[in-house]
């Protein structure tokens, strides 16, 4: 029976110390299918070859399989600018099967890993929602997202232009964030406070000969890198909503910013390097909101 685990959890293959050193490889289903001798089958590729030694005094040597597998799990989205109808998008690389194979070519163990960095013992069970929305607030022109790990062992995100279960679009805001949470699901969050845009410049200068009787430049900027930043303020949040935002939104490595007025969508990085778990009590019995700063992932340039 295969071992199933979230990718954050250390998952070991153990073999008796008598087998030390133990030569092995780790193989993975690529997600593609190939035809071998007229039969269609899943393509499997070797992603790691290694040799393990037992630690002195231990009865077993242990191989940490998830540390190899973690580099091969990820989640993406289709081009959000093309979404015009309800769309189901399958994340083929958010749940993958791996095999630990002995030097004799025998599969010693099979592993199924789910892209889950929550550090919670949620288990890898199908028909489970991977989304964890902060407050369900929405506004016109937003894309609403929900991700499930379904009975076919597929991670699927549904993208809607109208609210699904747990959302409404009766609120006001000019921008929305779409982000990958730590369970491996996609969520959306409406920014209900002010949004201020700024440009950060990185300038590259040269110095050249000049005639001080003229208007010649001695120093001149030949290249200006422009990084767009947005400082955004959330609406008021409950303690529970604050905890979700701090854990799942501020820590995300993948986010998109949607300008609901212009329709522009762009990939962004959340540059805040600290998350405070605010509560009504620890904020001096004051209502809770957050300031979030994001930077456009794509740098612009001025070489004029």
Instruction: Supply the pLDDT for residue 33.
Output: 83
Beta bridge partners of 41: 34
Co-location of 156 and 106 in the same domain: no
The reply to whether 62 and 132 lie within a common domain is no
Give per-residue pLDDT as tens, 84-119: 999 999 999 999 999 999 999 999 999 999 999 999
Q: What are the 10-residue block averages of pLDDT along the chain, 304 residues in total?
A: 94 95 94 84 92 94 97 97 97 96 95 97 91 97 97 96 90 97 98 97 95 94 96 98 98 98 97 96 96 97 94
**CA-CA-CA-CA torsion for 255, 260, 264, 265, nearest 10 degrees?**
20
Q: How far is CA 222 from CA 202, 203, 217, 219, in A?
A: 11, 8, 12, 10
In a domain, 86, yes or no: no
Whether 163 and 232 map to the same domain: the answer is yes
Kindly give the pairing relationship between strand 107-114 and strand 3-6. parallel
pLDDT of residue 39: 86
Rg of the Cα trace of the chain? 25
State whether 249 and 146 are in the same domain.
Answer: yes
Find, among 222, 226, 217, the residue nearest to 205 by Cα: 222
- In a shared domain, residues 129 and 209: yes
Q: Answer yes or no: do 108 and 161 share one domain.
A: no
The pLDDT assigned to 282 comes to 96
113 neighbors 100 (Cβ within 8 angstroms) = no
Whether 160 and 298 map to the same domain: the answer is yes
Tell me, yes or no, whether 252 lies in a domain.
yes
Q: Are residues 57 and 138 in the same domain?
A: no
47: CATH? 2.60.40
**143 and 66: one domain?**
no
Task: Give the domain extent around 136.
Answer: 125-304
- Nearest residue to 125 via CA among 116, 134, 138: 116
pTM, 2 dp: 0.92
Boundary-marking domain end, from 106, 121, 136: 121
Domain-embedded: residue 191: yes
Q: Decide if 61 is inside a domain.
A: yes
Clarify whether residues 181 and 259 are in a common domain. yes
Same domain, 137 and 266: yes
pLDDT confidence of residue 274: 94
- Give pLDDT tens digits for 121-161: 988 999 999 999 999 999 999 999 999 999 999 999 999 99
**pLDDT value of position 72:** 97
Of 100, 71, 96, which is closest to residue 5 (Cα–Cα)? 96
Residue 22 maps to a domain: yes
Q: Is residue 87 part of a domain?
A: no
How many structural domains is the chain composed of? 2
Residue 85 falls within a domain, yes or no? Answer: no
Residue 294 lies in a domain: yes
- Please tell me whether residue 24 adopts helix, strand or coil conformation: strand
How many other CB atoms are found less than 10 A from the CB of residue 198? 11
163 and 52 within one domain: no
């Amino acid at each position: 029976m295969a071992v199933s685990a979230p990718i954050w959890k250390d998952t070991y293959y153990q073999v008796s110390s008598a087998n030390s050193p133990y030569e092995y490889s780790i193989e993975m289903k690529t997600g593609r299918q190939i035809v071998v001798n007229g039969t269609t089958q899943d393509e499997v590729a070797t992603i790691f070859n290694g040799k393990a030694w037992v630690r002195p005094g231990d009865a077993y040597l242990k191989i940490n399989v998830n540390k190899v597998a973690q580099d091969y799990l990820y989640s993406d989205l289709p081009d959000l600018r093309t979404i015009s109808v309800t769309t189901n998008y399958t994340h083929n690389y958010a749940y993958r099967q791996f095999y630990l194979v002995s030097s004799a070519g025998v599969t010693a163990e099979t592993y199924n890993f789910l892209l889950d960095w929550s550090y919670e013992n949620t288990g890898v069970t199908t028909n489970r929602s991977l989304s964890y929305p902060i407050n369900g607030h929405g506004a016109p022109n937003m894309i609403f997202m929900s991700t499930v790990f379904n009975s076919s062992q597929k991670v699927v995100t549904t993208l809607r232009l109208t609210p699904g279960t747990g959302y409404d679009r009766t609120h006001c805001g000019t921008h929305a964030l779409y982000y990958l949470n730590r369970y491996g699901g996609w969520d959306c969050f409406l920014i209900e406070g002010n949004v201020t845009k700024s440009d950060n410049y990185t300038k590259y200068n040269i110095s050249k000969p000049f005639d001080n009787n003229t208007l010649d430049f001695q120093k001149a900027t030949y290249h200006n890198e422009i990084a767009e930043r947005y400082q955004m303020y959330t609406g008021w949040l409950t303690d529970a909503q604050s905890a979700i935002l701090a854990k799942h939104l501020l820590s995300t490595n993948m986010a998109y910013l949607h300008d609901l007025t212009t329709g522009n969508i762009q990939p962004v990085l959340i540059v805040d390097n600290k998350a405070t778990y605010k509560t009504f009590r620890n904020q001096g019995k004051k209502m809770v909101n957050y300031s979030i700063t994001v930077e456009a992932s794509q740098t612009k340039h001025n070489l004029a």
